A and B are shown apart, each in its own frame.
Chain A
Amino acid sequence: MTSRIRALLRLFTIQASWNYERMQGIGMGYAAAPLLEGLKSTAPGRYADAVARSAEYFNCHPFLAGVAVGALARAEEDGVPGPLIQRLRTALCGPLGALGDQVFWAGLLPALMALTMIAVAGGVGAWAVVSFLIVFNGLRLATAWWGLRTGLETGLQVAGAIQRSWLPRVGPWLGPAAGFLVGFAVPASGGYLLEGAPAGTLASTLGTAIVGMVLFHRLPAMVTALRYGLTLVAAALLWRWLVP
């Protein structure tokens, strides 16, 4: 297995040692280790310093961590001075975090999940769930490979490579699509879950949802979605048990 493939596989565990001290740092060091092995023979004096740097503080979106792992490993291989590598490491945290959140957490994931929910509500069944897993993970694997390759090819020039890539361009498209699909999936799922309910149930469910949204808006510190759900369901169950 090549060092790139080993690093790619290790990227999937990047957050296993997530902590409040170095955040993803230890995971970055673990993922970068196969890429730094070459230094053992070419620059043994730099190897221990490179490994130590690779596990320092770092945090970004986990799906884009490969970009940073690749770029930092390339910089170590090129013999870039340590302080410059540390500056690159710090500089990559923000942009990779923000881009990843926009593209994956606020775009691709809710869009694909909403499509799956609509498919389930439409009667497609468990195949919709299987399709979601295949499509999402196919895209995720392709992104991880692209990120690692881009980082390794560009090294210190990685910021420009990200800026010219597909990454900043898809976010503005994915956001509205995710918004529309989630907006659609919510009542579609509600209708599916209340299938067979008497007439008027959908209206009272909508009323419950609207009251909840007003409370979230007016009392954001007090009423969270989880608290609202717990309180409402517990009260409804208690009511039915006490007043049969």
Chain B
Amino acid sequence: MTLPFDLSIVLGLLGWGTLVGLDLVSVPQMMISRPLVAGTIAGAIAGDVASGMRVGLLLELFALDVLAVGAARYPDYGPATVVAAAYAAASPAAWQAVLGPAALLGLLLARLGGWTMPYLRHANARVVQLHSAELATGDLGRIEAIHWLSLIRDAVRSFALTAFGLLLVALWLRIPTHSEWLPAVAAVGAAMAAAWNGSIRTAGRGFRLTWVEAGAVAGLIWAVWTR
């Protein structure tokens, strides 16, 4: 199994995947982990900005369903989008054929990434429990050490997730693609449902829901008008 990229591109994607994985919670939360941002820059690294941006836009619709509040467990779309964008950039098939497999790869990895987060948080908690006596005495060196080691732990998690995803890209590229629109329709339809569902849930039943509905009607008119 080989990747269709130069070593420099693979290293660039690994580095970018690690950064966006860190951005989700740890540092600096500047929203580079948003799929549209992560995908566009991953596409640029892999040599196809347009494909990266499209995959990013598709997964961004799924990510709009997520409200990252408190200790909630949610999918990690950052490294997943980097990998899906790399697949889309590397695939020689037509756009409509790439969209479905890219969405499947991205969603699987996002789910896997989401599963890794509680393990990371439990690992951090165990270290805090282990050093609770030193923390109670106000040992600043221990506070800083715990903080930095937790950050490194998340960097390792993000790196491993991206590396595993890039190995999957090599496998994914062997899967035969068809130039039919059915998988693309399934992916875009599910993504639209996710984004609308997220905005309706956030809006509740008040007047904000009316704004969501008004926006959806205006957007539909715009989408039909510009076709």
Cβ contacts under 8 Å, B143 to chain A: 26, 29-30, 33, 51, 55
Interchain CB contact (< 8 A) of B36 among A59, A116, A140, A233: A116
Contact B125 A179 (CB under 8 A): no
Contact A183 B150 (CB under 8 A): no
Interchain CB contact (< 8 A) of B197 among A17, A189, A216: A216
Whether a CB of chain A sits under 8 angstroms from the CB of B219 is yes
Interchain CB contact (< 8 A) of B138 among A12, A51, A212: A51
Whether a CB of chain A sits under 8 angstroms from the CB of B54 is yes
Whether a CB of chain B sits under 8 angstroms from the CB of A146 is no
Contact B31 A133 (CB under 8 A): yes
Q: How far is the CB of A15 from chain B (nearest CB, A)?
A: 5
Contact A186 B61 (CB under 8 A): yes
Cβ contacts under 8 Å, B166 to chain A: none
Whether a CB of chain A sits under 8 angstroms from the CB of B216 is yes
Q: How far is the CB of A18 from chain B (nearest CB, A)?
A: 6
Contact A226 B181 (CB under 8 A): no
Contact A59 B32 (CB under 8 A): no
Whether a CB of chain A sits under 8 angstroms from the CB of B174 is no
Known: A176-B211, A191-B226, A240-B180. A23 touches B29 (CB 8 A): no
Cβ contacts under 8 Å, B156 to chain A: none
Interchain CB contact (< 8 A) of B190 among A48, A191, A225: A225
Interchain CB contact (< 8 A) of B194 among A33, A110, A183, A225: A225
Stretch at the interface among A152-160, A162-170, A202-210: A202-210
Interface residues in B, total, Cβ within 8 A: 105
Contact A12 B27 (CB under 8 A): yes
> Which residue from chain B places its CB closest to the CB of A175 in the assembled complex?
B208
Q: How far is the CB of B141 from chain A (nearest CB, A)?
A: 10
Interchain CB contact (< 8 A) of B37 among A59, A133, A186, A211: A133
Q: How large is the interface on A (under 10, 10 to 19, 20 to 34, 35 or more residues)?
A: 35 or more
Cα A27 to Cα B37 in complex, Å, equals 26
Q: Enumerate B185-227 residues with CB–CB distance to A below 8 Å.
A: 185-200, 202-203, 207-209, 211-220, 222-224, 226-227
Q: How far is the CB of B66 from chain A (nearest CB, A)?
A: 8
Contact B189 A183 (CB under 8 A): no
Assuming A29-B147, A197-B181, A225-B65, what are 10 further A-B pairs, CB within 8 angstroms? A16-B26, A17-B147, A26-B143, A125-B49, A193-B58, A194-B181, A204-B189, A205-B189, A232-B190, A237-B101
- Interface residues of chain A, those whose CB is within 8 Å of chain B, are 12-13, 15-23, 26-27, 29-30, 33, 47-52, 55, 59, 62-63, 97, 101, 105-106, 109-110, 113-114, 116-117, 120-121, 125-126, 129, 132-133, 136-137, 140, 175-194, 196-198, 201-202, 204-213, 216, 225-226, 228-230, 232-237, 239-241, 244
